[in-house]
Structure 1
């Protein structure tokens, strides 16, 4: 059980390998990463099980960029006649789990396994409770079973407070029919990821002011209006009529990179399709010049060296704000609703 399993978006396995290699090297953990293209997961094989567990205990999950979910453990075969027994046997010597999640990978094959997992979960949960291997509601680690097929599963453990908020790292957000585009879910997911739920009422309060750069047709503006904020929607393109009828939106026909508000706002959000360096510089400028208190900005990724480019841009933003003498928090994640992009959150303290 010396392997770290890492879920990701299909096609980003190389980015996950690069990320975990860097982080493990910083901790002095030896091992190697490997992955199959478009499998939606990667593995980091450590020298010992203790080193795999050290990674999931020491690294801060919320700071990972391309990794959606993780667990320390190993793959086992599942005999068709005794799947329960094989899983129980693989847990010999493992700590008692405090919760159980059955997961699949974000592929067509994985989606086809969802029905099997739903049927299998009930009998498995009962068996693990009966065997004393699962005591739900306790402080034990989360038992994560990632199924490759009905005949193979990764049996892993992860700290419940240092792993994904949702199974497979995929939030179950419902698309609001009133929203003008599905991109609205990007901003909602960003808030779930970067803002503790208990702080929403204070940091996303009615009456706050916001600017949405590159707003048309209004997917991100809709989220801000839904929180009863007053929004300057900056875009030369048209805005959704229902949003304009809300009385909370001022449509400013201007270049998002040139626009500056007359007075500071609470939030700036931006999903402009542009080179990532330019969007990163825009985010730094808005926070650095005191134009907003918090920002959510998407960075479109290059075709190659995507992880290296993201790390370089984040470092540049941090260095620029430190040079201004500012204290900030900076987070970056490839969210489930992102595609060839990552979402950044920057907050001035």
Structure 2
């Protein structure tokens, strides 16, 4: 069992720093602890609910590699913790940071940020201004490349308070490329609903560059289960996919006007396609295990080759339910799959799953 501790700090240079949706710190702590234990790595999680981050302390240098960012569900970002600095003097926060980083190889980029929490958001101004002051000081000390270099580790400074900061390192191949781990997406005026942002983020976060290019080809065929009012269908048509939208409710007229959409008034939970499709997406409100079983049927029967769907989580034991549903889905799919799941920024009490035939 993971112990959540709020009164101890990990030794400098040991452990992970993960950002998460505020309120889901226990879920991320449990996930990190369970995955670390499965890899034979001992440690403990330090977390407070609604802080927006979790520290997982361990003295095993293999920890970061054993917990790849893309495989984590509740972590928006995963970083290697280098130091925790408390009692910083507002008149000189830079000197202690340079001292803590002394002897470290140069970083390729600097990211100064704060947790995405009620307590963290007022620190946005400090983060912006401090980055402008720290960057030249790091370069003068030989701790930052003269120009941004995305091919070497990135330095993160996360302000918890004005006098409290975490210094962490990002492996650019094993971390989110966006500040705070949040891709900044804009809801376009013609989007039928805000749920469109969930699918846009899923395609950006859960698929890598090669998969987006290969798996979203114009003319591919897709089904959107529980489509009304058409947010996810609309996103697919923007990639020039032909979509069968399944819902007893209406779609927004301009979604139909694309000429790429066939709307069938049917129950998305029971409908099946007359012929195999490239994609199936689903954002229906239903018990997560029931959804996982139905999604597995689609992959097992060969009704689609790729899928993105949401699992609505219960109020309690959310990591346990997540793990159970993902195991159930993979077992009942009965075929080799590549599966990634994440609680996205635009998700709430849910996770989003991407599955593709291996």
Give the total of aligned pairs.
342
| Equivalent-residue separation in structure 2 for 1:103 and 1:310 (angstroms) | 29
Match of 1:93 in 2: 103
Q: Assess if the C-alpha contact under 8 Å between 2:74 and 2:343 holds in 1.
A: yes
Q: SS state of the match for residue 297, structure 2? A: helix
133, 137, 144: which one pairs with 1:127? 137
Once residues 312 and 270 of structure 2 are traced to their aligned partners in structure 1, the CA distance between those partners, rounded to angstroms, is 19
Secondary structure of 1:259's partner?
A: coil
Task: Note if contact 1:333-1:342 (Cα within 8 Å) is conserved in structure 2.
Answer: yes
What does the per-residue CA deviation read over 1:86-119, in whole Å, with 9 as the maximum and x for residues that have no partner?
1111112333212211121111232221122111
Task: Please give the secondary structure, in 2, of the residue aligned with 1:43.
Answer: strand
TM-score scaled by structure 2? 0.92
3-state SS in 2 of match to 1:113: helix
5 Å-filtered alignment, 1:79-118, equals 79-118=89-128
Give the structure 2 partner of residue 334 of structure 1. Answer: 343
The normalised TM-score by structure 1 is 0.94
Correspondence for 1:319? 331
Deviations 1:48-106 (A, max 9, x none): 3xx2x532233211000001112222320321111111111111233321221112111
Aligned to 2:120, what secondary structure does the other structure show?
helix
1:63 to 71, 84, 88: 71
Could you tell me which runs of 5 or more consecutive residues in structure 2 were left unpaired when the two chains were aligned. Answer: 1-11
Match of 1:229 among 228, 241, 255: 241
2:150 and 2:172 in contact (8 A); partners too? no
Cα distance between partner residues in 1 of 2:326 and 2:263? 31
Q: Is the 8 A contact 1:56 1:159 kept in 2?
A: no
Residues 216 and 237, structure 1, Cα contact 8 Å, conserved in 2: yes
Q: Secondary structure at the match of 1:231?
A: strand
> Structure 1 residue 37 and structure 2 residue 49: aligned?
yes
1:201 aligns with 2:218: no
RMSD (Å) for aligned C-alpha atoms: 1.4
Give the one of 3, 11, 16 matched to 1:4: 16
Query: Post-superposition shift, 1:320?
Result: 2.2
Moved over 4 A (4+): none
Q: 1:215-244 CA distances to partner (integer Å, 9 max, x unpaired)?
A: 000110110111111111111111101111
Gaps spanning 5+ residues in structure 1: where?
A: none
Say whether the 8 Å CA contact 1:57–1:159 is kept in structure 2.
Answer: no
